[in-house]
Structures are given as structure tokens and as C-alpha cells.
Amino acid sequence: MSFIKVAATSDFSLHNLPFGIFSTVDNPKHRIGVAIGDQILDLSVIFFLFQGPVMSKYQDAFKQPTLNAFMGLGYEAWREARRTLQTLLSANESTLRDDVRLCSRAFVPQNAAIMHLPADIGDYTDFYSSKDHATNVGIMFRGKENALMPNWLRLPVGYHGRASSVVVSGTPIRRPSGQMRPDQTKPPVFGPSKQLDIELEMAFFVGGGNSLGEPIPIEKAHEHIFGMVLMNDWSARDIQAWEYVPLGPFLGKNFGTTISPWVVPMEALLPFAEPNAIQDPEPLPYLRHQDPYTFNINLFVSLKGQGMAGMATICKSNFKYMYWTMKQQLAHHTVNGCNVRPGDLLASGTISGPDPETFGSMLELSWRGSKSIDLGGGNTRTFLKDGDEVTITGYCERDGYRVGFGTCTGTILPALQH
């Protein structure tokens, strides 16, 4: 229990302690903070309290405007910092609790904070690791007999996304324009996307990197995974459908990707680990691991259109539906010697489960626009309209406490006139 009041339904209990970057109106400097209850603990104020054998040498990491330096310190530094924070914030520890002057400087109400991207994201990779999602999309575009491509069950399929257009929750997203070919008997046309979609995803930040030419073995992969965020990887389906052969997604994806601001440490998620998906055929040796590294994270997508009284939940899913694990994704990403760096972002791909309510995209929920998604009150959608606000939330829960991620929100702005 913490001396900071934490509601039972709070995402940010003492069991969580996610890291983020924030500023305030009266202090625009970007600082590293940790969420606890409805407060943020400013680590740039209490950096000197990190006196363990590792962090005592690297206290300046908490004076930085991003998490990159701290991420780069590696696994033992993260674990030690987490233990220090849990001790400092516990109800029976007086160091911070009884220092009224220090507390007044160190704690900031979350509703007074402006949140920023947690890290300078050097590179962004998006995987395609939900079997249910890949099967659904394959059925739509290739038929049931060819739903999964021959490589899908053999390796974690992925592509390199655009890091420059990854934005923090709350940033509006402009409807993209591009080439589309809605009528296959006619030439392509240019204009605003008419099939703008969401993608329910999660992503992890790379901590310690690797040298060029030196793969990260799967046995060590967990030491390079810093923590997780929620993600909405917005997608223009009509632009993507025309452009993606033969090199994959491009303008249909790189116009915007939204992530939640709080990075939940993997150590906070380990109590919610579940057995990995049964993989048949068995992966090649470099992708094999037996320890559970899939997680029971409840995920929700809500939509509020202009004129609607409230949010309508359109998807209830779970991260445990993933086929390939994060360890496998990272091991595969680097097996050819590719180097990853602190702050790199690796995403899951759309997360869908076996039932229609668990489908993580409007493409699936409307089955390629063939049926309406009911929002209540006479409101329906097949794809997104201008003014739609989409919010993703997620949390783990057990024994009376939650480990949650906050919100991942974006609102659609009209396309620019060309």
C-alpha cells in the first residue's frame, strides 16, 4: 500500500508504476515522471534518492527530457529503480512521505500535466502477429483456402513503419488523401480516404540495444524489453489496398500512429503472464521459448461520433490472443544482425480474438463494409467519420488491484482540400 491514495479501480497502483514524460503550464520543461494514483512523481526532483549499486552512478538519467537514457541502462537498472520507487512510495517508508517540502515539489496532479511521447523513437516496426486477425483479413481478400500466407505460421511477419508520425494520445489525426482504385475496371482516383480505420494494438519499447551484426538470442530477449503501451495504428484501407503490392503498407499507414503516454514496465505485467499460444508447426530453434510471455491484458475500443451523448464500446479483446510473443518478435527482428536501439518501438499488429466482439479493426467488425457497426441511439459505422473520437483502454486485474495503461485517444480531422 502507498501513502498516496490510490482508488481500487485506478490503473496506477503501487504494483504498476509506469514511466512517462510530462510538463506543466508553469514549467514547460519535459521531465520523467511515474504515475501513482492520480498523481505524478517527478523523478527530476528526487533523482538523488536512487542510491542503489547501479542507479547511484546514473542518477542523471532522471534529469533527461526523454526515457531513452534510462532505457539504455538495461535490465538490472530498471529492476533496481522499480524497487527503489516501490520502497519510497510505500506507506511505511518515511523518506518521502514525511518530507512535506520535498513532496510539494515532487508530486504533480495528473490533471495538471501535459503528456508527451515517452522516448525519441528512432525506429518503428509493426508486426502482424494475431492469427485471428490475419485469418479474417486473408479470408476477405483471398478466400478461406488461402487465408494465411505460407510464411505466416513460420515467422513473425512485420514491416518497418514511420517513426516520425507516431504521436502521443490526444493528438488529432488528419484524414489522409491518396490514390485509390474503388472500381477495378477504371483507373485509380485521388482523394480523401473513405475507409479510414482503427487498429487495436499494443507495442513495446526496446531498452538495451544490440550491436550491428549481433542478434539478440531469445533466451536474453526479456532483458531488452523495457515496457508496453497501448497503440492505435490508424489505417486507410482503400489507399492500402491499391498500393501494398508488392512491398507492403506505405501511405495507407504512415499518416499517424497513436500511443498511450505511460510505459508499463514488464515486471509489473509478469504476474499476468499466461501460457503461450500452441504453435504448430513448431518454430525453428531460434524462435523457441517455453516460459510464458503472453499476457492477460483486457482491451477495449470505444468510439464517440459528433452529436453522440457518450462513448460506445465497439470491441472487447485481450492481448492473450496473440500467436507470436514479444520475445519471438525481437529475436526474429535481430536474427539477421539488425541492430535495435533504446527507444525503438515494436508493435503487435492488430489484436483480434476468435469472436466478433473481439475483432480489433472496423475492417473486421463491419466485415469489409458489408454490415454496420451499431453505436446505439440510431448511430452506425462501417469506417470512421470526421469528428469521430476513438479511445483504447487496457488493464490487467487480480487480487483487488489493477495494472493499467491509461488511455490512447485520437480524433479524426477532415482531410485537407487539394
C-alpha cell at 176: 489522409
Cα–chain-centroid distance for residue 349?
10
User: Is 289 considered catalytic here?
Assistant: no
Place of cell 470491441: 315
Q: Is 398 exposed, middle or buried, given 0-12, 13-18 or 19+ CB atoms closer than 10 A?
A: exposed
Pairing relation of β-strands 401-413 and 173-174? parallel
> What is the distance in angstroms between the CA of the first residue and the CA of the last residue of the chain?
56
From the list 34, 31, 37, 51, the residue with the least C-alpha distance to 6 is 37
Cα–chain-centroid distance for residue 128?
14
Distance, in Å, from the CA atom of 149 to the CA atom of 138, rounded to the nearest integer, reads 8
Helix (H) and strand (E) counts for the chain? Answer: 9, 26
Distance, in Å, from the CA atom of 291 to the CA atom of 330, rounded to the nearest integer, reads 15
299-323 burial code (b ≥16 CB/10 A, e <16):
bbbbbbbeebeebbebbebbbbbbb
Q: What angle do CA 389, 348, 413 make, to 5 degrees?
A: 20
Those residues with Cβ within 8 angstroms of residue 344's Cβ, 6 or more apart along the chain or in another chain: 121, 122, 123, 124, 125, 205, 206, 209
Query: Catalytic one among 133, 222, 224, 333?
Result: 133
Active-site positions? 133
